[in-house]
């Protein structure tokens, strides 16, 4: 069982990136069952409505964050999924405010399947968010195993280079993916980075 954790601030495109990967896994031979855990802080789970229309098993955890207030419920859900569904992949979309320590919680809950994390960076709002919530963005990027700079079609080449340099200053070791997830076909990326990385 492999676990991928998707983090990134609200509106960065986590759901689109996650669904893109889930659809890729569903069509690739021998990738098996895919379960998506979606976490929203509010009582209404908007993304869950989109995800439930897809051909994947989904679990929704609402009214709290899986890195703090819902940690116990989240651990129980992980163990239940592992025991009853036995998926090949669990894709977890954390809230926009989730801290990367959630990866430690996952590893304690399922020690045989340490998670890999993908942080989705919103290139359109990078400057604004980096000024307003530097601690959160820094923590998410520093501990990410993969960095996905999203919405690159919304910035010019100079601004994109600036974002890349900022991100590399925080984490130069993890693979950097640049795309507009809502428009680009990412099959090659998933094959090279996720399946073989």
Q: How confident is the model at residue 62 (pLDDT cuts 50, 70, 90)?
A: low
- Average pLDDT for 182-196: 86
Domains of the chain: 2-195 (3.40.50.300)
pLDDT tens-digit map of 89-134: 889 888 766 556 777 777 877 878 888 999 999 999 999 999 998 9
- Average pLDDT for 174-184: 93
- Average pLDDT for 44-53: 47
Residue 172: predicted pLDDT: 97
Whether the model pTM is above 0.85: no
Report the mean per-residue pLDDT for the chain: 81
Q: How confident is the model at residue 59 (pLDDT cuts 50, 70, 90)?
A: low
SS (H, E, C) the chain: CEEEEEECCCCCCHHHHHHHHHHHHHHCCCCCCEEEEEECCCCCCHHHHHHHCCCCEEEEECCCCCCCCCHHHHHHHHHHHHHHHCCCEEEEECCCCCCCCHHHHHHHHCCCCCCEEEEEEEHHHHHHHHHHCHHHHHHHHHCCCEEEEECHHHCCHHHHHHHHHHHHHHCCCCCEEECCCCCCCCHHHHHHHHHCC
């Amino acid at each position: 069982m492999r676990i991928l954790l998707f983090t990134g601030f609200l509106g960065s495109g986590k759901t689109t990136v996650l669904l893109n990967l889930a659809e890729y896994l569903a069509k690739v031979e021998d990738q098996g069952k895919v379960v998506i855990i979606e976490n929203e802080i509010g009582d209404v789970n908007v993304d869950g409505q989109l995800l439930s229309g897809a051909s994947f098993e989904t679990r929704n955890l609402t009214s709290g964050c899986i890195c703090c207030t819902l940690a116990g419920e989240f651990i129980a859900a992980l163990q239940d999924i592992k025991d009853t569904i036995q998926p090949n992949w669990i894709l977890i979309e954390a809230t926009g405010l989730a801290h990367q320590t959630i990866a430690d919680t996952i590893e304690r809950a399922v020690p045989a399947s340490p998670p890999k994390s993908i942080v989705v960076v919103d290139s359109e709002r990078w400057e604004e968010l980096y000024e307003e919530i530097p601690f959160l963005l820094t923590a998410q990027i520093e501990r990410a195993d993969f960095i996905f700079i999203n919405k690159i079609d919304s910035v010019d080449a100079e601004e994109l280079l600036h974002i890349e340099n900022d991100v590399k200053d925080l984490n130069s070791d993890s693979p950097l993916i640049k795309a507009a997830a809502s428009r680009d076909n990412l099959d090659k990326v998933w094959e090279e980075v996720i399946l073989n990385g």
